[in-house]
């Protein structure tokens, strides 16, 4: 990067707080007290992110008499669920293209279930009065290089041929009429398939609803070990045990209480910035009246959107895998990535020169080798687990919660009949192979971005094995 570019990026970041913007909010609820002594319940939910909260909420909706306990190691919504981009997508498969590659015979059903899932989220947000700035404004996949534009045109044609929901193609002029950036060559606007929301407020709202429905929520209560107990299971915490007939694990990127599931996901750190609120003049200088979310169609992609108070959230690009698959709060800050992100921001929006960033943060994404969630049972069907959402779990975790409840009930439903639900991704190898494979893949993907999208031998071999890497 040129010296002036670095200096401008550094200046724009100089006042940024090292915190997720969404969590730095006076409305952050106080944590519920930790468990004190033993508990007995019908269903124990481990994890207070969207996965766990939707599971507890839907369990109560399905059967209000069921005794449900939720334990959370820290505070509900502090992890990925409180620090993501807030793109709440209908897709259950990390995008239609990924779903089509892996489950072509099910894609129409998967897309339909995904749309119904997003509708159900919107309906629950309204019904329970969850104030999370839900806006169903859609998302535009944008092209900044000619080969990306050709890829978008091709995808537009294919969705039409396959009878899938067809996004609207925007040529350069129409794209720039939506969002005026000199780097944007065109885009595909999916108007109904994505909503934007305030992620932490969704998590906090779900927690409030769970409490209202009678879920007993214990925060600062890590589950340390899981074992059979009579006809059910018991989870040990530092303060007592929870005995439950059934347990659902929504622990995402953190080590699963079922050890054999650990190699199926790796943590990949993703980073984001938010600007100060834009004045009306600054906002007018870039258009963006329709408030869609945007995402680059490159492998190393940026995602960006407006907040309710007209800040721009600007994230993505670097996807960092820490050797050994560590998750550690020290990894939430990465100044070299923040500088890079800020520099890219001003290339996209030169009109916003002088704008300051107020927050800079990162978080771990539970990446799996098929990019979309997988579902498992353990302990003879008494425990269900869902993870592997790979950066697209804001919406899909509600579907995952339904699947976990179906599995625990031993029911065959339209969800559990899916091959997508019954199959599993390939696990990651142990170190140093995981690190070496991921680094090699990242380098190849970066090369593909700058060489007209051409995939090298390594990526083609990975494609043949159905293996991938994404954030
Ligand atoms: C920076 C970033 C940006 C993202 N952007 C988007 C986006 O725009 N759109 C999108 O769809 N997805 C996005 N994602 C992904 C999305 O946030 C996740 O898929 C989703 O939040 C996963 O929810 P979860 O409940 O499974 O996980 P989490 O929110 O991580 O919750 C898991 C919880 O389990 C708790 N826990 C773990 N182990 C234990 C234990 N043993 N005992 C008790 N509690 C435990 C943790 O403390 C944590 O609170 C992003 C993620 C990140 C990090």
The closest-lying atom of ligand 1 relative to the alpha carbon of residue 361 is 1
Written as six digits, the tokens of 338 are 């923040």
Dist CA 107 CA 164 (whole Å) = 9
**What pLDDT shows up at residue 2?**
84
Which residue's CA lies nearest to atom 34 of ligand 1?
Answer: 47
Q: Give 443 Cα–ligand 1 centroid separation in angstroms.
A: 26
Residues with CB under 6 A from ligand 1: 46-52, 71-74, 78-81, 83-87, 89, 222-223, 250-252, 254, 257, 270, 272, 363-365, 389, 391-395, 397
Q: Give 111 Cα–ligand 1 centroid separation in angstroms.
A: 23
For the stretch 154-194, pLDDT in tens is: 999 999 999 999 999 999 999 999 999 999 999 999 999 99
Residue the block writes with tokens 């700035």: 133
Q: How would you list the strands of the sheet with 302-306, edge to edge?
A: 168-170, 186-190, 139-143, 293-296, 302-306, 312-316, 266-275, 357-367
**What pLDDT shows up at residue 467?**
78
Which residue's CA lies nearest to atom 14 of ligand 1?
Answer: 391
Give kind and range of the element (H or E) at residue 156. Answer: helix 146-162
The closest-lying atom of ligand 1 relative to the alpha carbon of residue 400 is 26
φ, ψ (nearest 5 deg) of residue 273 = -130, 155
Which of 237, 337, 394, 398 should be mutated for ligand 1, with most atoms under 8 A from CB? 394
Give which of 230, 235, 237, 269 is closest to 249, Cα–Cα. 235
**What pLDDT shows up at residue 372?**
95
Which residue's CA lies nearest to atom 52 of ligand 1?
Answer: 84
**What pLDDT shows up at residue 230?**
95
State the pTM of this model. Answer: 0.97
List strand residue ranges (DSSP E) for 276-344, in order.
Answer: 293-296, 302-306, 312-316
**What pLDDT shows up at residue 416?**
98
**What pLDDT shows up at residue 421?**
98
Q: Give 218 Cα–ligand 1 centroid separation in angstroms.
A: 18
φ, ψ (nearest 5 deg) of residue 422 = -80, -20
Contacts of residue 365, defined as CB under 8 A and 6 or more positions apart, other chains included, come to: 80, 253, 267, 268, 269, 270, 319, 389, 390, 391, 471
Give kind and range of the element (H or E) at residue 338. Answer: helix 335-348
Dist CA 447 CA 445 (whole Å) = 5
Written as six digits, the tokens of 84 are 């993501």
**What pLDDT shows up at residue 72?**
98
Cβ–Cβ < 8 Å for 303, 294:
yes
| List of the chain residues with pLDDT < 70 | none
The closest-lying atom of ligand 1 relative to the alpha carbon of residue 237 is 42
Cβ–Cβ < 8 Å for 273, 341:
yes
Which residue's CA lies nearest to atom 38 of ligand 1?
Answer: 251
């Amino acid at each position: 990067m040129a010296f002036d570019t670095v200096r401008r990026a550094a200046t724009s970041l100089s006042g940024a707080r090292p915190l997720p913007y969404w969590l730095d909010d006076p409305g952050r609820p106080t944590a519920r007290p930790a468990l004190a002594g033993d508990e007995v319940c019908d269903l124990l939910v481990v994890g207070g992110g969207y996965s766990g909260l939707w599971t507890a909420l839907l369990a109560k909706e399905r059967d209000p008499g069921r005794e449900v306990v939720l334990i959370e190691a820290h505070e509900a919504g502090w992890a990925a669920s409180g620090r993501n981009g807030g793109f709440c997508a209908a897709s259950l498969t990390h995008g239609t293209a990924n779903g089509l590659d892996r489950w072509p015979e099910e894609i129409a059903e998967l897309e339909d279930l995904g749309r119904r899932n997003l509708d159900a989220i919107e309906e629950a947000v309204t019904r329970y009065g969850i104030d999370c700035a839900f806006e169903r404004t859609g998302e535009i996949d944008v092209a900044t290089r000619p080969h990306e534009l050709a890829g978008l045109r091709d995808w537009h044609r294919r969705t039409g041929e396959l009878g899938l929901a067809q996004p609207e193609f925007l040529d350069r002029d129409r794209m720039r009429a939506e969002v005026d950036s000199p780097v944007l060559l065109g885009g595909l606007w999916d108007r109904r398939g994505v909503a934007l929301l305030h992620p932490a407020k969704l998590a906090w709202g779900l927690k409030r609803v769970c409490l209202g429905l009678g879920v007993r929520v214990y925060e600062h209560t890590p589950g340390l070990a899981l074992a059979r107990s009579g006809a059910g299971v018991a989870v040990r915490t530092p303060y007592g045990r929870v005995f439950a007939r059934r347990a659902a694990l929504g622990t995402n990127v953190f080590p699963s209480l079922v050890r054999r599931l650990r190699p199926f996901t790796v943590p990949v750190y993703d980073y984001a910035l938010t600007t100060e609120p834009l004045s009306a003049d600054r906002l007018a200088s870039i258009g963006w009246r329709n408030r869609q979310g945007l995402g680059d169609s490159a492998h190393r992609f940026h995602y960006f959107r407006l907040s309710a108070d007209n800040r721009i959230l600007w994230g993505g690009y670097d996807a960092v895998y820490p050797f050994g698959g560590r998750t550690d709060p020290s990894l939430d800050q990465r100044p070299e990535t923040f500088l890079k992100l800020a520099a890219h921001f001003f290339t996209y929006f030169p009109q916003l020169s002088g704008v300051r960033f107020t927050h800079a943060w990162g978080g771990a994404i539970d990446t799996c080798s098929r990019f979309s969630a997988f579902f498992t049972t353990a302990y003879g069907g008494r425990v269900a687990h869902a993870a592997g959402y790979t950066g697209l779990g804001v919406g899909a975790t509600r579907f995952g919660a339904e699947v976990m409840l179906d599995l625990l009930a031993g029911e065959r439903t339209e969800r559990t009949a899916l091959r997508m639900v019954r199959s599993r991704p390939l696990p990651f190898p142990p170190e140093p192979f995981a690190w070496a494979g991921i680094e090699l893949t990242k380098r190849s993907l970066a090369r593909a971005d700058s060489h007209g999208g051409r995939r090298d031998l390594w990526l083609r071999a990975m494609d043949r094995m159905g293996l991938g890497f994404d954030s």
